[in-house]
Chains A and B, each alone.
Chain A
Amino acid sequence: MSGFDPVEPIVSEIKAVLGHSPDFICRKVVIQGLSHVYCMYLTTITDSSVIDELIVKPIKETSLQDNQSFKDSVSLLRASIPVPEKKQIASKDDPVKNILEGNCVIWDPSSQTLLVYCTAKNDYRSITEPSSEAVIRGPREGFLEDIESNVGLIRKRLKSSNLIFEEFSIGSATKTTIYMTYLANVADDAIVKEFRSRISAVQTDSILESAYMEEWIQDKTFSPFPQVLSTERPDAVAAKLIEGQVAVLTQGTPMVLVGPLTFFQMFSSPEDYYQRADIATLLRWLRMFSFLLAIFTPALYVAIVSFHQELLPTPLLINLAAQREEVPFPAIVEALIMIITFEILREAGLRMPRIAGQAISIVGALVIGQAAVEAGLVSAAMVIVVSLTAISNFISPLYSFGIAQRIIQFAFMLLSGVMGLFGLMCGVFFLLVHLVSIRSFGVKYMTPLAPVIVSDWKDTLVRIPHNWMKRPTGSLRTKKGRR
């Protein structure tokens, strides 16, 4: 029964296009000895039981005599097969694409028709808690690699007819399905149009993860700062859509992109909205303070210890001087040694198997802890500086923002090492100029501080109670006047 008929040219062509792939199957199914059709699919990505039970078996059991009422064989097939038909196609290019998507393509030689049935395997993991964005209070659901499930997760939260999904297929090799989603009655048309045009303009061979898309659609390539929010949390995406933002879902990854993103949004976490407003505000301030600590602590330490000792109170100066008595390196080298060591440990901790993580922790504690101080390689104050920097760095709710902080921290540290506080101030000015120059889909990155939009401070610098948030943020120019 299996195999293919060499006399059918279309089958031969498909086989040739697919490079005689071993998982390509073409089954000739005879209908009551009177007629026959060909079922073509890839076994590795299709559900064989669906094909056997719901396509092949009904076709074989169909009796042409019993179904005289059907005017042609295509109508008969449609009536026999209980699987919903995806579409009928005509050209010979389409069957290959459909087969590659995990569909079963049926070729009816008598009517010269191709019918496509959805038989793709759904081998995806179950919904779990997002590992990169854990919350204490809030939903535990995270996106999956399956884009259809992700759409479901969003739809479950936004039961609105205005929720629009626009489909794109991007990547000449991967043909990745991309969904752009927004609330039509809220999102600004200009932003939606901008998203649409940028996604349509992507010319690449592959999109394997949403990061590929991020690079293609972001405004500024050479910037350490993320210009699109990437999240695993459907509740966060739903909240952003309600605010008038646009989300981009990518097949094969649980990370969903949301834009436009502004600088101060990176200090807010989905959890901010699941707890009291005052607590959320304090936590937001804590994150902002931690950002400053992360980028300035090592730089200030190096600048003050190497250039501006007069700024220190005398007892602290004496303590630092006593600690650094036996340290053989200048402060900048000491700082670089410690911070690079910490970065290596952090990277190793991420990449190593979980079971080896404990070993890394022990070695890490020894290397950048007491042993390094006792060996006279670094001072105890430096250990505190590095620890404080590292912990502050982890507070960022957005992982990519944490990486940006690390880059700035190194730049500032080097500037401080060569030019002291003057260098650090130069760095700060460069950073500010860079930040105000960024746009995210037409929205200024430093909004609502530059330009000043006081009404937007209610959900950036602070988080006011929900019942006071009558209007959406002004920076997004949403359509709705009230929430």
Chain B
Amino acid sequence: MLKPICLWACIILLCTGCWDTKEINQLAIVNLGGVDKNPETGTITAYYQVINPSGLSARLSGGQNAAVYTFHFKEYSLGKFTVKTNTLMPRQLFMPHMQAIIVTERYAKQGVLDLLNYYELSPERRSNIVFIVTESPLSTIMNSYTPLDRIPGRYIRSLTNLTGQGYTSGFEPIRMRDMIKSIYRRKPTVMPTIKYTSNRSADTTERLEEADVNKQSIVFTGGAVFIHGRMVGRFDIPTKLIFSLLNGDLITYVETVYLNGSMIDLEARDIQAERHWESGSGLTMKVHANLRVINNQQNIVMSEQNLHAIEEAFNKKLEEKAQSLLKLARQKNWDLLGLQDQGVEERKWRTFPVSFEISSSARMIGNTIGPYFFEKE
């Protein structure tokens, strides 16, 4: 009698695994999340953009159904949202496939430490998602369909993957985990900012029939500067690039210089930013870049002298930008070069001498050694 009971007990023990089962078609696969926090009431609004698999499958739907549905919930505490979703969402919330999280500017300015802590505690959530700050209302962004890629989360992720190609590690350090890693550092973390090009959200699939993408679309505007998890200001895109370049993250970018009254576009490659600490003279940042002329509007035949002149112009331009960033850092009290993280005292870093030595070597590749032009008669 004992043997069959033991056997049944063993089999039932095996079945405990079934408690964790979640069938794939019972999941609400969240692809994009959004959070806003009202500074006055403390109410948190969470948006979940859930994928509709059959809407995405052309075979099942003819390709016209909604690809995503957006749910939003309000609560006072982040931990209650998972339970709260059961009041409206007919499927189990499934967060591991979330591509990006968008927070409002007002929430970012209050500090997002609570959100970071919540993500770190939750095994269901991943911190390698792209962290974005929106300048437009969150509801407009979250309730809009996107062209080409019908899943907005993937649309944003694709855009950020493309921008990441010029970076050392192959991706821009804009994930939530990048912010978490630098949470105790004095150097600010710069996360991308976006806005919506229209006041009205594109909340039906009719938007996908329109050819004018710019009319209603998500666009990247620059960077939000975070120090210790709190947004303290903004960068435009060029400033963000120089910030990344001087901190050794960026290795490729395009710069425009003017020479002989004409515009020249240069692709700076293999950028190496090295720091040399010298007692007494402070920090010298040596930056070297290989330049490739990608657009030359000069009305002269390219020569070695001209290439050197281009190099000089680039060096000068980059040094100006670097000095400008240093000035901004001192002015705003943002340690953009991370001097304090490298041992400079808090009270001295603003006056700490920093100099830049920029060098470059230009090359011209193309079918012609100079542009086609006609002498003015």
Contacts and interface: CB of A to CB of B under 8 A. Distances in A.
B29 A317 contact: yes
Contacts of B31: 314
A331 B21 CA distance: 10
B74 to A, nearest CB: 27
Contacts of A306: 21-24
A429 interface: no
Contacts of B21: 306-307, 330, 420
B24 A320 contact: yes
B17 A330 contact: no
Contact of A321 (B15, B25, B96): B25
Interface in A207-238: none
A321 B60 CA distance: 12
B110 interface: no
Contacts of B20: 307, 420
B60 A419 contact: no
B53 interface: yes
Residue with the highest number of chain A CB atoms closer than 10 Å, among B23, B31, B53, B94: B23
B53 A322 contact: yes
Contact of B23 (A314, A324, A418, A422): A324
A330 B23 contact: yes
B25 A314 contact: no
Contacts of A323: 57
Contact of B97 (A314, A325, A418, A419): A314
A309 interface: yes
B17 A325 contact: no
Contacts, number: 72
A321 to B, nearest CB: 4
Contacts of B115: none
A318 B23 contact: no
Interface in A267-326: 305-307, 309-310, 314, 317-325
A388 interface: no
B324 interface: no
Given A310-B96, A310-B97, A314-B97, A322 B22 contact: no
A418 B25 contact: no
A349 interface: no
Interface residues of B, number: 25
A74 B334 CA distance: 123
Contacts of B22: 306-307, 309
A139 interface: no
B23 A331 contact: yes
Contact of B24 (A321, A417, A419): A321
A305 B27 CA distance: 11
Interface in A319-353: 319-325, 327, 330-331
B365 interface: no
Nearest to A305: B24
A314 B154 contact: yes
A318 B51 contact: yes
Given A310-B96, A314-B154, A322-B53, A422 B17 contact: yes
A347 B97 CA distance: 42
B17 A423 contact: yes
Residue with the highest number of chain A CB atoms closer than 10 Å, among B21, B27, B29, B31: B21
Contact of B27 (A309, A319, A420): A309
Contacts of B96: 309-310
Tell me if A's interface is mostly helix, strand, loop or mixed.
Answer: helix
Given A314-B31, A314-B154, A321-B27, A419 B56 contact: no
Nearest to A324: B25
B29 A321 contact: yes
B6 interface: no
Contacts of B104: none
A305 B57 contact: no
B90 to A, nearest CB: 13
Interface string B16-45: 011011111101010100000000000000
Nearest to B95: A310
A325 B54 contact: yes
B14 interface: yes
Nearest to A323: B57
B54 to A, nearest CB: 5
B123 to A, nearest CB: 10
B272 interface: no
Contacts of A322: 53-54, 56-57, 59-60
Nearest to A329: B23
B53 A318 contact: yes
Interface string B292-304: 0000000000000
Contacts of A314: 29, 31, 97, 99, 154
Nearest to B51: A318
Contact of B29 (A305, A318, A330, A331): A318
Interface string A375-396: 0000000000000000000000
A420 B20 CA distance: 9
Interface string B184-216: 000000000000000000000000000000000
B25 A325 contact: yes
A321 B23 CA distance: 9
A423 B53 CA distance: 29
A318 B56 contact: yes
Contacts of B60: 322, 325
Contacts of A309: 22, 24, 27, 29, 94, 96-97
B23 A317 contact: no
Contacts of A423: 14, 17
A321 B97 contact: no
Interface string A399-419: 000000000000000000111
Nearest to A328: B25
Interface in A412-458: 417-420, 422-423
B83 to A, nearest CB: 20
A419 B154 contact: no
A419 B57 contact: no
B62 to A, nearest CB: 13
Nearest to A416: B17
B63 to A, nearest CB: 12
Contacts of B54: 322, 325
A233 B246 CA distance: 73
Contacts of A327: 25
Contacts of B99: 314
A420 B17 contact: yes
Contacts of A319: 53, 57
Contacts of B27: 309, 321
A318 B54 CA distance: 8
Interface in B329-350: none
A331 to B, nearest CB: 7
B28 to A, nearest CB: 10
A127 B279 CA distance: 94
A317 B22 CA distance: 13
Contacts of A422: 17
A305 B14 CA distance: 18
The 8 tightest CB contacts between A and B, nearest first, are: A419-B17, A310-B96, A322-B53, A322-B57, A321-B53, A324-B25, A418-B17, A314-B97
Given A314-B97, A324-B24, A420-B20, 7 more contacts: A314-B99, A318-B57, A319-B57, A321-B27, A321-B29, A322-B53, A417-B18
6 contacts: A309-B96, A319-B53, A321-B53, A322-B60, A324-B23, A324-B24
Interface of B: 14-15, 17-18, 20-25, 27, 29, 31, 51, 53-54, 56-57, 59-60, 94, 96-97, 99, 154
Interface of A: 305-307, 309-310, 314, 317-325, 327, 330-331, 417-420, 422-423
